[in-house]
Amino acid sequence: MKKLLLTGIAALSVLSASAARATEYQGNLPKPVQKLPAYPPIACVATNWALEWCEDRQTPLPRPNPLRALAKHIPAKTKTVLYDEPGGEYWAHWRRFKALADSGDDVEIRGSCASGCTVVMIHVPSDRLCFGEGASLKFHVARDPNNNDKPDMVFTERWMVNQYPQDIRAWIIAKGGVEKMTIWQMWKLDAEELWQMGYRKCDPDLRKQEKDRTAEEIWREKDRKAEEAWHEWQKWKNQEETWRIYKETVQTLGRIQ
């Protein structure tokens, strides 16, 4: 029993010595003044170690990259052409363009790409995108279907603006950002500006050329038929005039006899 007691005393001595050495190396830590909050505030530190509001910091806007349009592009085996897209339900377009991006298709935008259609910019890489003559992207704030279709600024910023490529996001921020966007007024980004940003210009639209050529041929055919009708009318008028003169001549000769 005496040995067990001596062993316990020796162990306590060792622990006391270890605690003393730990205090010597670490110092005496102060007791907490108060309980820390569940979510401590976030503070940003400047280069001179002064505290500043994190909201005051701005990320430099990305610069357009016009050389991107000169990069070598290997055409995909298939392509999808968007002519006039009015938009619609956000998540339906999200799934649609995610599947389109996974397909590997090139995407040609040759008309108005409005509202939910702009989600294509989130999923399809820029090297597989091109914009044709008259193409445009049109942006507006999203609606909240659970709140009488009122503007949903948080959703617009989180799921749309913050998801766009940096150059598109910079263009929106330069116009005033989400705070300035409305439901009904579209912000239009023309093809010319997109080309300046570095997006590719689509090759001439053969379908449109064929459509224009067909329309021209239709009008030429109409002109030809109109001209033929004019000549027929003139011929009929000439015949009528000849018959009138003939009848007058016969009547005149009858009176003379």
pLDDT at 102 over 90: yes
Look at 18-22, 170-174, 210-214 and tell me which has the smallest mean pLDDT: 18-22
Alpha-carbon distance of 142 to 152, in angstroms, equals: 5
> Does residue 84 belong to any structural domain of this protein?
yes
Alpha-carbon distance of 201 to 110, in angstroms, equals: 10
> Does residue 13 belong to any structural domain of this protein?
no
> Does residue 3 belong to any structural domain of this protein?
no
> Does residue 196 belong to any structural domain of this protein?
yes
CB under 8 Å to 122, separation ≥6 — which residues? 94, 97, 163, 164
CB under 8 Å to 131, separation ≥6 — which residues? 108, 109, 110, 191, 194, 195, 199, 200, 201, 202
Residue 69, amino acid: A
pLDDT value for 103: 93
0.85 cut: is pTM over it? no
pLDDT value for 221: 74
Alpha-carbon distance of 46 to 53, in angstroms, equals: 10
- 35 φψ region: left (φ > 0), alpha (ψ -120 to 50), beta (else): beta
Question: pLDDT tens-digit profile of 170-191?
Answer: 999 999 999 999 988 999 999 9
> Does residue 148 belong to any structural domain of this protein?
yes
Look at 24-33, 146-155, 184-193, 235-244 and tell me which has the smallest mean pLDDT: 24-33
Instruction: Select the highest-mean-pLDDT range: 32-36, 37-41, 160-164, 217-221.
Output: 160-164
> Does residue 176 belong to any structural domain of this protein?
yes
**C-alpha neighbours within 13 Å on the C-beta side of residue 104:** 5
pLDDT value for 30: 62
| Residue with tokens 């001595």, as numbered in its chain | 13
CATH of the domain at 175: 3.90.226
Question: What average pLDDT does this structure show over 209-215?
Answer: 62
pLDDT value for 56: 55
Task: Indicate the number of domains in the chain.
Answer: 1
> Does residue 219 belong to any structural domain of this protein?
no
Range of the domain at 126: 68-206
Confidence of residue 146 (pLDDT cuts 50, 70, 90): confident
- Higher-confidence position of 32 and 107: 107
